[in-house]
């Protein structure tokens, strides 16, 4: 007769409560939710099994395997390192993107921009340029979900492009119903990699390239759509942001200069040279920048300018059309 050793360690509920209390003490707003994600990651437990076993002691072998990691991740989160950086990924447009300290964490607000492009160009065979691509979340989402012919994502940061490169390999090359996928590293300086997928119906391309705004885009290259989530936070405001943003996300992806409009001036002034006639530009903005960005675009010959709101009713995206090129 085999007698099972009675487990005497903490229960799953106690582990989660301990994590929640630690994060609450550190001032984390969504302490319970963050503690759950860390518990799930450390121990590999899902919601269903947690609810079934929450009052049961965690088995000794599983406790030994996961407790150290759980405590380490809690300590990081308590020091205000963003949850997504600890987990190494973030969800955007239903896709899971790798993230680290070199890229802005994809946010739900930015989905407004991607969703608007997908709505406006559903089923269309277009070319798209994403300036300040960061993790590649906008460019890759449009390439995967919109199935557009060519999508190009550019960034000045090679560290960010390394993250985007990883996401492109996982998400673009890893799409369903792809018969053949290739990645061709074209150049180290400036950095560039071309991705291509072939299905039964078509061949589509994704390009990731190093560029300081439009500086690396060849003269004469024009796109149907230009999108961008540029740095737009006023320099003096950055010090007032939450520690997760202020101390752990790249300042280069946040700082929009003294008035927050530096990169919109470049996008309005130089972007028009890279749009086909009738092409559109979609820009994410801060909640209080709609009128200023609208005026900039108007001054540079754009028309049909609209400020679109996010789910909270705040100004979030400016859409504009340019008809000056032929």
Tokens in use for 20? 């929640």
Taking residues 7-34, what's their average pLDDT?
95
Taking residues 167-196, what's their average pLDDT?
96
User: How big is the chain, counted in residues?
Assistant: 326
User: What is the H or E stretch that residue 141 is in?
Assistant: helix 137-146
Q: So what's the pLDDT on residue 1?
A: 45
Tokens in use for 160? 């960010």
Q: Rounded to the nearest 5°, which phi and psi values hold at 262?
A: -50, -50
pLDDT interval class at 323 (50, 70, 90): confident
Distance CA 174, CA 249 (A): 28
Give the burial class of 208: count Cβ atoms within 10 A of its Cβ; 0-12 exposed, 13-18 middle, 19 or more buried. buried
Tokens in use for 323? 């008809």
pLDDT (tens digit per residue) in 252-276: 999 999 999 999 999 999 999 999 9
Which of residues 1 and 129 earns the better pLDDT score? Answer: 129
pLDDT interval class at 326 (50, 70, 90): low
Number of neighbours of residue 60 by Cβ within 10 angstroms? 12
Q: What angle do CA 146, 304, 270 make, to 5 degrees?
A: 75
Q: So what's the pLDDT on residue 3?
A: 47
Alpha helices in 147-248 (DSSP H): 158-167, 243-246
Q: Return the bridge partners of 10, or none.
A: none
Structural domain spans, the chain: 12-79, 88-322
Distance CA 182, CA 276 (A): 28
pLDDT reading at 24 higher than 80: yes
pLDDT reading at 51 higher than 70: yes
pLDDT (tens digit per residue) in 205-251: 999 999 999 999 999 999 999 999 999 999 999 999 999 999 999 99
Tokens in use for 256? 């929009």
Q: What angle do CA 97, 17, 6 make, to 5 degrees?
A: 110
Distance CA 231, CA 104 (A): 10
By the 8 A CB rule, do 248 and 81 touch?
yes
pLDDT (tens digit per residue) in 123-167: 999 999 999 999 999 999 999 999 999 999 999 999 999 999 999
Q: Are strands 89-92 and 95-98 parallel, antiparallel or unpaired?
A: antiparallel
For the domain made up of 88-322, the CATH class stated in words is alpha beta
How far, CA to CA in Å, does 178 sit from each of 43, 172, 175, 309? 34, 9, 6, 35
Distance CA 140, CA 145 (A): 8
pLDDT interval class at 6 (50, 70, 90): low
């Amino acid at each position: 007769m085999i007698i099972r050793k009675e487990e005497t360690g903490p229960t799953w509920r106690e582990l989660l409560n301990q994590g929640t209390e630690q994060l609450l003490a550190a001032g984390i707003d969504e302490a319970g939710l963050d503690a759950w994600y860390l518990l799930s990651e450390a121990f590999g437990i899902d919601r269903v099994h947690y609810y079934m076993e929450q009052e049961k002691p965690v088995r000794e072998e599983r406790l030994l395997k996961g407790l150290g990691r759980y405590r380490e991740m809690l300590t990081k989160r308590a020091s205000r390192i963003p949850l997504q950086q600890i987990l190494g990924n973030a969800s955007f447009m239903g896709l899971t993107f790798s993230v680290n300290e070199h890229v802005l964490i994809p946010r739900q607000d930015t989905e407004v921009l991607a969703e608007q492009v997908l709505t406006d160009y559903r089923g269309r065979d277009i070319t798209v340029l994403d300036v300040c691509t960061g993790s590649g979340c906008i460019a890759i989402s449009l390439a995967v979900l919109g199935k557009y012919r060519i999508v190009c994502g550019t960034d000045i940061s090679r560290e960010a492009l390394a993250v985007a490169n990883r996401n492109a390999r996982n998400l673009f090359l890893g799409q369903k119903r792809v018969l053949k996928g290739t990645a061709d590293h074209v150049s180290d300086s400036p950095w560039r990699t071309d991705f291509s997928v072939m299905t039964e119906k078509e061949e589509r391309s994704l390009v990731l390239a190093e560029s300081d705004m439009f500086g690396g885009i060849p003269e004469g290259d024009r796109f149907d759509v230009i999108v961008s989530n540029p740095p737009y936070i006023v320099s003096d405001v950055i010090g007032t942001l939450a520690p997760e943003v202020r101390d752990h996300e790249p300042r280069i992806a946040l700082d929009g200069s003294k008035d927050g409009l530096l990169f919109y001036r470049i996008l309005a002034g130089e972007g028009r040279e890279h749009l086909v006639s009738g092409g559109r530009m979609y820009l994410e903005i801060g909640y209080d920048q709609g009128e200023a960005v609208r005026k900039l675009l108007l001054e540079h010959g754009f028309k049909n300018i609209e400020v679109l709101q996010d789910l909270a009713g705040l100004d979030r995206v400016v859409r504009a059309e340019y008809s000056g090129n032929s």
